[in-house]
Amino acid sequence: MFLEQIENPNDIKKIDRADYGALAEEIRQFLIEKISVTGGHLGSNLGAVELTMALHLALNLPEDKIVWDVGHQSYTHKLLTGRKDGFDCLRQFHGMSGFPKRKESNYDAFDTGHSSTSISAGLGLVKARDLKGEKNTIVSVIGDGSLTGGMAYEALNNAAELETNFIIILNDNNMSISENVGGMSKYLNNIRTANGYLDLKEGVYNALLGTKRGDTLINRIRRAKSSFKQLVIPGMFYEDMGITYLGPVDGHDVENLTRLIQEAKRVKGPVMIHALTQKGKGYGPAERHPARFHGAEPFDIETGIPSHPRTVANYTDIFSTVMCKLGQRDERIVAITAAMPDGTGLKRFRNMYPDRFFDVGIAEEHAVTFAAGLAAGGMKPIVAVYSSFLQRAYDQILHDVCIQNLPVVFAIDRAGLVGSDGETHQGIFDFTYLSGIPNMHICAPKNKWELSDMLKFAVALDAPIAIRYPRGNAYAGLKEYRAPIALGRAEWIYREKDIALFAVGSMVKTGEAVRDLLKEKGLFVSLINARFVKPIDEEAVLEACKTHHLIVSLEENVATGGFGEKVLDCMSRNGCDNRYLNISIPDAYVEHGNVELLKQEIGIDAASITDRILKMEQNGKAQ
Ligand SMILES: Cc1ncc(C[n+]2csc(CCOP(=O)(O)OP(=O)(O)O)c2C)c(N)n1
């Protein structure tokens, strides 16, 4: 009823304040209904409904700007800025993104997807505003989980010197994807329960007032900038840095929040509003299982059960099982995650070996250097991380792990196209950013057994090594091909002549399909499972060059710095003049959408690859 009245940005300002509660309820129902069909980030959005309403009431968008950290909680913002219809194709190919996108709307001030960037970006917008002499308001919204990321502190440190207005809203739901971790989380928790301390303060003062020298004592306590003060005044950490702290406040009270944001606009300097929210608010299953409903697959609203329950093990499951076995065999094995114990499959390892499990918060850079320290101390660290998030830790991999040649294993999940999370999350750069680093080894399994074999191989190797595997079902084909893993050695699966397909990881399965299609045309095709991207098996390449006129490399990584370039380099150094075709991801960001569709779109599905090979065969030259 009220949501119907909201078609355009700022329409919320027409709603009577008495109806805010009803509007919030309608927004929640809308989000639950839509996300139950498309999938998406439910819990974080349900928790941020009132906060977003308050921002839209207190600000004048788009002149004023909101920077959403991670951006997964921006659905209500999208709803209130004329994008209601977009929810039917949320996260689908050419549909509305699940994250803020400047190209999608003038009301999205800054693109996000990875965590802990909003304060830096917001501060940049503030400085740009000031330099241009403008007067608009800039607000960065950051969650307590994202506040575990180091970049947030670099930004706070910088923002503290500011003499003009900058509003930071800390959306504190006491959860990251899983339970939040670490000292800051503890600190925020103490603030949450600050009423206890305030009562204590009052109690102490009242007791002292009743005594003879009570006044003097109270004054002494007040004068002393003691830890007592730290206890009784919430937000001292921020205040001491020079950031005005307002809170903690109820993040579900629209009117109060709106008033507070309006007050915060008057502060000449950085100001933090600490809003307490509940993840999944208003939907029972999401309140009870916040981790499961952080990023939900389509589900049945009544029960919260996924509409298409998984029946096949994915690579994460395989990794999870093997890690538990390895942990049992070798007490030096330790596992590290940057806030993704569920997503990376390390939860079982955590339950079995709590002392050897470390969740460091959303802190990939720290995770890698921490792992380097563990390795230098004689342990065998395995860093389980998503491909796109490891991008952050490039220097730590190079400077802290690889220069010292420390035996850190990188278990890189979600490598390749990930689908609906889109361009910020596609794991298509890891071969590129890893393969230029001396001492690093890189491999990718063709199927679920090979992931297990590679992990065992990796922990036995006394050097840095990365194993990258994709999101989704673990391939259970080619079971009979299980030659022992040897460093830098490929595996011949089919040995014929004429066309040689060198495929890496997920592309071995595609390579099989391509080979079938080519054979239907009467061609002879070899399929080689590359296994290693660094070092590549040059012997296998040269052997193939002798008996095949066309060499094709297949990978789910961008072409630049990828596997194919190494194959071509090997061929050119050795004077091989075979024709060559590089199947990889083009030099562009790949948007959100179904993975199979995306593969067709960029021409790396079996049919498109077969077409390209056939054309090449016909023309006798490269496409
Ligand atoms: C660099 C990076 N690492 C990991 C993630 C995965 N991730 C997405 S949201 C999230 C938790 C964020 O928690 P919080 O900021 O408290 O937001 P909430 O969802 O609780 O509202 C994580 C770990 C990410 N987006 N970016």
pLDDT single digits (tens) 355-394:
999 999 999 999 999 999 999 999 999 999 999 999 999 9
Nearest CA to ligand 1 atom 11: 176
190: pLDDT confidence band, cut at 50, 70 and 90?
confident
Spacing, Cα 544 to ligand 1 middle (Å): 45
Of ligand 1's listed atoms, the one at least distance from the Cα of 146 is 15
Omega of the bond leading into 248 within 30 degrees of 0 (cis): yes
70 lines ligand 1 (CB under 6 A): yes
225: pLDDT confidence band, cut at 50, 70 and 90?
very low
620: pLDDT confidence band, cut at 50, 70 and 90?
confident
Whether the Cβ atoms of residue 63 and residue 72 lie closer than 8 Å to each other: no
178 lines ligand 1 (CB under 6 A): no
Q: Is the predicted pLDDT of residue 195 greater than 60, yes or no?
A: no
Q: Is the predicted pLDDT of residue 57 greater than 80, yes or no?
A: yes
In this prediction, residues 411-430 reach a mean pLDDT of 98
Q: What is the largest CA-CA distance in the chain?
A: 104
In this prediction, residues 462-479 reach a mean pLDDT of 97
118 lines ligand 1 (CB under 6 A): no
Q: Map residue 537 onto helix, strand or coil.
A: coil
Sort 421 into a burial class: Cβ within 10 Å, 0-12 / 13-18 / 19+. buried
Share of the chain above pLDDT 70, in %: 93
290 lines ligand 1 (CB under 6 A): no
- Per the prediction, the chain carries an average pLDDT of 94
173 lines ligand 1 (CB under 6 A): yes
49: pLDDT confidence band, cut at 50, 70 and 90?
very high
Residue ranges, comma separated, of all CATH 3.40.50.970 domains in the chain are: 3-188+250-288, 315-468
Instruction: Give yes or no: 364 in active site.
Output: yes
Q: Map residue 605 onto helix, strand or coil.
A: coil
Run of H or E including 33:
helix 20-38
49 lines ligand 1 (CB under 6 A): no
Catalytic residue among 78, 83, 129, 279: 279
Q: Is the predicted pLDDT of residue 436 greater than 50, yes or no?
A: yes
Quick one: pLDDT at residue 28?
98
pLDDT digits (tens, 9 = 90+) for 394-403: 999 999 999 9
Determine the Cα–Cα distance for residues 431 and 438; give it in Å rounded to an integer: 13
114 lines ligand 1 (CB under 6 A): yes
Instruction: Give yes or no: 456 in active site.
Output: no
Spacing, Cα 119 to ligand 1 middle (Å): 15
Spacing, Cα 424 to ligand 1 middle (Å): 13
**What is the CB neighbour count within 10 angstroms for residue 495?**
12
Residue type, 348: R
Of ligand 1's listed atoms, the one at least distance from the Cα of 143 is 15
Catalytic residue among 83, 347, 392, 414: 392
Spacing, Cα 36 to ligand 1 middle (Å): 21
* Residue with tokens 């075709």, as numbered in its chain: 581
Higher pLDDT, residue 204 or 267:
267
User: 315-468 falls under which CATH superfamily?
Assistant: Thiamin diphosphate (ThDP)-binding fold, Pyr/PP domains (3.40.50.970)
176 lines ligand 1 (CB under 6 A): yes
Determine the Cα–Cα distance for residues 465 and 500; give it in Å rounded to an integer: 27
Determine the Cα–Cα distance for residues 143 and 621; give it in Å rounded to an integer: 54
Spacing, Cα 472 to ligand 1 middle (Å): 20
Q: Is the dihedral of CA 570, 575, 576, 580 positive or negative?
A: positive
Q: Please state, in angstroms and as integers, the Cα–Cα distance from residue 325 to each residue in 320, 333, 374, 411, following that order.
A: 9, 10, 20, 15
Of 88-92, 456-460, 498-502, 617-621, minimum mean pLDDT range? 617-621
Omega of the bond leading into 62 within 30 degrees of 0 (cis): yes
145 lines ligand 1 (CB under 6 A): yes
Quick one: pLDDT at residue 224?
52
Nearest CA to ligand 1 atom 22: 177
The residue whose CB lies within 8 Å of the most ligand 1 atoms, and thus the one to mutate among 115, 175, 281, 368, is: 115
Spacing, Cα 441 to ligand 1 middle (Å): 29
Of ligand 1's listed atoms, the one at least distance from the Cα of 177 is 11
The residue whose CB lies within 8 Å of the most ligand 1 atoms, and thus the one to mutate among 31, 73, 146, is: 146
Instruction: Give yes or no: 78 in active site.
Output: no
Whether the Cβ atoms of residue 421 and residue 474 lie closer than 8 Å to each other: no
Sort 620 into a burial class: Cβ within 10 Å, 0-12 / 13-18 / 19+. exposed
Residue ranges, comma separated, of all CATH 3.40.50.920 domains in the chain are: 491-619
> Into which CATH architecture does domain 491-619 fall?
3-Layer(aba) Sandwich (3.40)
337 lines ligand 1 (CB under 6 A): no
200: pLDDT confidence band, cut at 50, 70 and 90?
low
Determine the Cα–Cα distance for residues 249 and 235; give it in Å rounded to an integer: 12
73 lines ligand 1 (CB under 6 A): yes
**CATH number of the domain located at residue range(s) 3-188+250-288 in this protein:** 3.40.50.970
Spacing, Cα 409 to ligand 1 middle (Å): 23
In this prediction, residues 343-358 reach a mean pLDDT of 98
Residues in the chain: 623
In this prediction, residues 56-80 reach a mean pLDDT of 98
Of ligand 1's listed atoms, the one at least distance from the Cα of 392 is 1
Quick one: pLDDT at residue 192?
81
Of ligand 1's listed atoms, the one at least distance from the Cα of 180 is 16
339 lines ligand 1 (CB under 6 A): yes
Q: Is the predicted pLDDT of residue 230 greater than 80, yes or no?
A: no
Quick one: pLDDT at residue 222?
54
Q: Is the predicted pLDDT of residue 197 greater than 60, yes or no?
A: no
Catalytic residue among 364, 491, 512, 555: 364
414 lines ligand 1 (CB under 6 A): no
Higher pLDDT, residue 166 or 220:
166
Higher pLDDT, residue 310 or 436:
436
34 lines ligand 1 (CB under 6 A): no
Q: Is the predicted pLDDT of residue 560 greater than 50, yes or no?
A: yes
Run of H or E including 274:
strand 270-276
211: pLDDT confidence band, cut at 50, 70 and 90?
low
Whether the Cβ atoms of residue 385 and residue 430 lie closer than 8 Å to each other: no
pLDDT digits (tens, 9 = 90+) for 21-33: 999 999 999 999 9
